[in-house]
Structure 1
């Protein structure tokens, strides 16, 4: 297999020119203060996060929030594999979809797909090869430039999550959990198209549920990536991880009007 899946949202969600994209991501990461969490959270622990949640809107809207998650990778040289999960926006299906491609590309280059890891989860009934689910999909792609900027030699395990229970997603994560060489990234925005004050209220409740590792307290109305988030929270409870909020804003705070906003949160799990 040699096919590389080309980027679908370059020049739309982020710059299509490699130099401009590299400069933007570098600036976003430099502006993100590692360990700079909201005042309501506990003292930031040291060490490498096992998992991150980062938003997936256009960089003008959510790039700074996403950067606050990736800035937490203090030993990026240890990471060789990234489990990258996000919600399918364009095609409804049951379970989790994997692509046919051998690599996923951005203007910064191609990232190899860890086909061996995918093969090790292929016997799970909820995992299916469904390449068309990735056509035009943005939620995983927008995470790649941040990973390319922070990591050096790594592969990805891309999984789009359709209609799947928290337990089904957690089972896949458990199968591929690995050790310090494996990072989990969940791509999800929070509330959609509420007014500014309503969004702040519902996103605050969602953030509390994430930090309390309570998948039952999060609905699809609260997070478009509710299913992969719920799977991570379930697995995090099993592994006794602790979640912390890094940033919580919405498009009304960044680059949009305040009558219809989208919420963005960044979280680390140690």
Structure 2
């Protein structure tokens, strides 16, 4: 029996109807805060280690997320996308990898790369196979239709982190590094995170810039420190920290592709959430 995970946020974070979903994704690219053009799929170029992508409803963060996916299209399809998000539900283990089977979205089924998922767990001290953490979590799920709209037959490894600290981030980075260097796995790491939450526009924008400065510097310790000292409510420092550690190990640099807030989309600036798209690219 094949292990299946049904889409739990189709119809809320993104459209349930297939045609409406495709249109929503295309509109994200063409939005005034998006890249401005639809992406073009190129032959595989192994330039970027991974991307930071926001995970709110498509109407809010879709145009910012589109900047990362526009670049992903330009670099072609890897063997596997390792999609890492924070745990918003509190369910499941501290660091949860989905083992095998398929994930369903309105655009069809996506296969889990069970070989890669097993290797990640075998290389890690913290990460275990666990389904419960994933069942109602949106941070990984919302990334998948963007990838499906670009490529046929993608493979993914979904990972959700509840215990977000530097040690867990480094542990995942070490596992991914072994996959790439020792096993020759062609992967792209997607770190799913929104930035500061539910403060006025000016405050959120300033707090986001403080965090993004540390991200640009590949400074994981500095990122966790600045979040803590300034009460910056970025929700995915664990996934982002893992990507930054991996980038450092692979001699990479960070390019911020886009930074905006929900207020830039809706015009309501009293109470906003920050969003950023970035790529970690080989130096």
Give distance in 1, aligned partners of 2:219 and 2:174.
17
Gaps in structure 2 of 5+ consecutive residues: 38-44
Match of 1:175 in 2: 178
Structure 1 residue 75 displacement after superposition: 4.4
Name the Cα RMSD after superposition: 2.2
Alpha-carbon spacing, 1:186–1:142, altered in 2? closer, same or farther (3 Å): same
**1:131-142 → structure 2 map (5 Å cutoff):** 131-142=131-142
Q: Does 1:223 align with 2:222?
A: no
Give distance in 1, aligned partners of 2:241 and 2:200.
25
Structure 1 residue 162 displacement after superposition: 1.7
Match of 2:53 in 1: 54
**1:1-270 → structure 2 map (5 Å cutoff):** 1-31=1-31, 32-33=34-35, 48-75=47-74, 77-91=76-90, 95-123=94-122, 124-164=124-164, 165=167, 166-177=169-180, 181-219=186-224, 221-255=232-266, 257-270=268-281
Give distance in 2, aligned partners of 1:195 and 1:206.
17
Match of 1:39 in 2: none
Report the more deviating stretch, 66-75 or 140-149. Answer: 66-75
Gaps in structure 1 of 5+ consecutive residues: 36-45
Q: Is the 8 A contact 1:92 1:163 kept in 2?
A: no
Match of 2:40 in 1: none
- TM-score, reference length from structure 1: 0.89
Q: Is the 8 A contact 1:56 1:188 kept in 2?
A: yes
Higher relative contact order (CA 8 A, sep 6+): 1
Structure 1 residue 163 displacement after superposition: 0.8
Structure 1 residue 161 displacement after superposition: 1.1
- TM-score, reference length from structure 2: 0.85
Report the more deviating stretch, 170-179 or 220-229. Answer: 170-179
Structure 1 residue 158 displacement after superposition: 0.8
Secondary structure class of the residue paired with 2:153:
coil
Which is helix-richer, 1 or 2? 2
